[in-house]
Amino acid sequence: MSVDDSTHNTLNESTRGLDRYFQISERGSSVKQELIAGLTTFLAMVYSVIVVPSMLGAAGFDQSAVFIATCLVAAFGSLLMGLWARLPMAIGCAISLTAFTAFSLVLGQGVSIPVALGAVFLMGVVFTFITVTGIRGWIMRNMPTGIAHGTGIGIGLFLLLIAANGVGLVIKNPQAGLPVAFGDFVSLPVIMSLVGLAAILGLEKRRVPGGILLVIIAISVFGLIFDPNVKYHGLFALPTFGGNGSLLGSLDIMGALNPVILPTVLALVMTAIFDATGTIRAVAGQANLLTERGNIISGGKALTADSVSSIFAGFVGGSPAAVYIESAAGTAAGGKTGLTATTVGLLFVLMLFLAPVSYLVPSYATAPALMYVGLLMLSNVSKLDMNDSVDALSGLLCAVFIVLTGNIVTGIMLGFVSLVIGRVVSGDFKRLNIGTVIIAIALVVFYAGGWAI
């Protein structure tokens, strides 16, 4: 046997090993497709290594240390999701919970950085307890069908709004009237975003492999050449894990156990339960990774992976972790297995040494991918059963208020409340189960008590 034949056989055996472990062929995918999906998800969420340090830096965190923590959390969480749960969902520091940690907990309440990290750690512990004891799974099983689909619709609309606002396609309305207004149509980010979205629609229609990724790369190259705001800062930068600004192991758990801080911990937990759970359900639904009963394949492991990641985040100096909505970009690119998430995790490990590269992907390069995914997720409308109008319209109410309030949990709360009251008023209360009623009451108390984030 020649050297070339031996190498070829080794590669084939490695590919078969990956296929068996991740069930790639069984789920109708390929190694190449999974790798492309992983790279697509990574590029769609790599902005987090800029946004998270910026937010926490405003609250006094060392930005270089937070950059390292952000990469470590995304690497740890995504690898755990990929290698253990074997699902194509990437985990990172949640932007909404990052904002709460920085602006409400540290700047607003004057909590010290070590205590804030202790609160993140405790939140992860409580979150994990709720997950492993089955409480979180019970919540998911008691989520009515209409609200489950409505969450997917709402997240799709939310993605569209986030992407459009990020490039200036829609802006905060400076005049009296509705909250948003049309942006500067002739600006470079808006033009490139719309052209990119149209290109993705065409490439996906023609079933071009990696079409979303090709558009992201093409627009990034265009930006590097023609946009003065996209600058080459080099390729490599060695991370610094020590020093005065290091956040590794700096958390103060005892300080976070202070009765004044504990309500904040519970608010983080409550928000994460419904925000992250709704996101996982929506992404799994888009990737067709649901059982006949509508449950997520390996759902218990998926839920545990993101809760454990928050424990890790508190230890390394990051904000609470969650499955990223941008994971849907990877599933839209064909990701169906844990190899997608594993690829994301490994790329974030490399990101520790390639920090300057993150500046080569402008927001208008990834915005078309997010818009496309948002449009795909709107297909959940067709899954609503309009013969059961209370369930279907409660789901739509959930969807609309997710985007109007910019908060997934708020939409879910309003959906649950409208469903329960609607069932009772319509005389259809026999279709209610006790779990749905309990969740609705808990959410109302959460909001009425002023604990909502």
Whether residue 255 sits in one domain with residue 127: yes
Residue 170 pLDDT grade (very low, low, confident, very high; cuts 50, 70, 90): very high
Q: How far is CA 186 from CA 29, 54, 195, 197, 269, in A?
A: 40, 28, 12, 16, 43
CA 334 to chain centre: 17
Specify if 204 maps to a domain: no
Q: Are 223 and 230 in contact (CB under 8 A)?
A: yes
pTM: 0.79
Based on the fold, state whether residues 241 and 287 are members of the same structural domain. yes
240 in a domain, yes or no? yes
Cα(29)–Cα(439) distance, integer angstroms: 37
Predicted local distance difference test score (pLDDT) of residue 424: 95
Q: H-type helices in 227-337, by residue range?
A: 253-256, 262-286, 299-316, 327-332
Higher pLDDT, 282 or 344: 344
Residue 3 has pLDDT above 60, yes or no: no
* Domain end position, chosen among 360, 393, 412: 360
In a domain, 142, yes or no: yes
Range 114-138 average pLDDT: 89
C-alpha to C-alpha distances, 405 to 52, 154, 167, 451, nearest whole angstrom:
21, 11, 20, 16
User: pLDDT digits over 210-232, tens only?
Assistant: 788 889 889 999 999 999 998 88
Residue 38 lies in a domain: yes
What does the block give as tokens for 294? 């509508």
What value does the mean pLDDT of the chain take? 86
316 lies in a domain?
Answer: yes
Give the tokens for residue 440. Answer: 């609705």
Same domain for 323 and 250, yes or no, is yes
Strand 91-93 versus strand 180-182 pairing type? unpaired
Q: How far is CA 361 from CA 164, 271, 341, 364, in A?
A: 16, 30, 20, 8
Tell me the range of 78-87, 111-120, 348-357, 442-451 where mean pLDDT is highest. 78-87
Check residue 264 and give its pLDDT. 78
Highest mean pLDDT among 72-86, 138-152, 237-251, 288-302: 72-86
Contacts of 366 (CB under 8 A, 6+ apart): 43, 44, 47, 163, 216, 329
Shared domain check, 329 and 423? no
Cα atoms in the Cβ-side hemisphere of radius 13 Å centred on 149: 18
Q: Is the domain of 132 the same as that of 265?
A: yes
Please tell me the least confidently modeled range out of 9-18, 214-223, 367-376.
Answer: 9-18
Question: 119 lies in a domain?
Answer: yes
- Over residues 392-402, mean pLDDT: 94
Residue 380 pLDDT: 84
Task: Classify residue 241: in a domain, yes or no.
Answer: yes
Residue 268: pLDDT over 90? no
* Confidence class for position 309, pLDDT limits 50, 70, 90: very high
Mark whether 132 and 266 lie in a shared domain.
yes
Tell me, what's the pLDDT at 35? 93
* 3-state secondary structure (DSSP) of residue 246: coil
149 and 283 housed in the same domain: yes
On whether residue 79 sits in a domain, the answer given is yes
How confident is the model over 52-108, as pLDDT tens digits?
Answer: 887 888 888 888 888 899 999 999 999 999 999 999 999 999 877 887 788 778 887
pLDDT at 192: 96
Q: Are residues 248 and 115 in the same domain?
A: yes
What percent of the chain shows pLDDT beyond 90?
Answer: 36
Total domain count, the chain: 2
Same domain, 414 and 354: no
In this structure, is the dihedral angle defined by the CA atoms of residues 293, 297, 301 and 302, taken in order, positive or negative?
Answer: negative
3-state secondary structure at position 242: coil
State both tokens at 105: 């907990």
CA distances from 196 to 158, 214, 365 (A): 19, 10, 8
* pLDDT (average), residues 312-341: 90
Range of the domain at 395: 384-452
